Amino acid sequence: MVTKTLACEWARSGVRVNAVAPGFVQSEMTDQYPVEVVRAWSDRTPMGRFGQPHEIASAVQFLASDASTYITGTVLLVDGGYTCW
């Protein structure tokens, strides 16, 4: 809700406000999780795997680029479909 509120307040000043909501992402921390935990989370994700850091970075890059100049007030889910279920 903060994203939408700030986007409405700042849009006429040329400021875009967006957010990225990542799902489970492979990292040094998640590499230490028990295999059963990783498998359970992966099984609950339609794409069947953890995201990679570069996939989250690509979403951020898109929102910061000229390709998204007419996008504001949105939360971009980058979760492999986890929130579909």
Could you read off the pLDDT of 42-68 as tens digits, one per residue?
999 999 999 999 999 999 999 999 999
* 7 domain residue, yes or no: yes
* 31 domain residue, yes or no: yes
* 85 domain residue, yes or no: no
Give residue 85's pLDDT.
Answer: 83
Domain, as residue range, for 42: 2-79
Structure tokens, 44: 């609950």
Q: 10 Å Cβ neighbour count for 41?
A: 17
* 10 domain residue, yes or no: yes
Tally of domains within the chain: 1
Which of 59, 48, 73, 47 minimizes the C-alpha distance to 22? 59
* CATH at residue 30: 3.40.50.720
CA–CA separation, 33 vs 20, rounded Å? Answer: 24
The pTM score is 0.90
* 13 domain residue, yes or no: yes
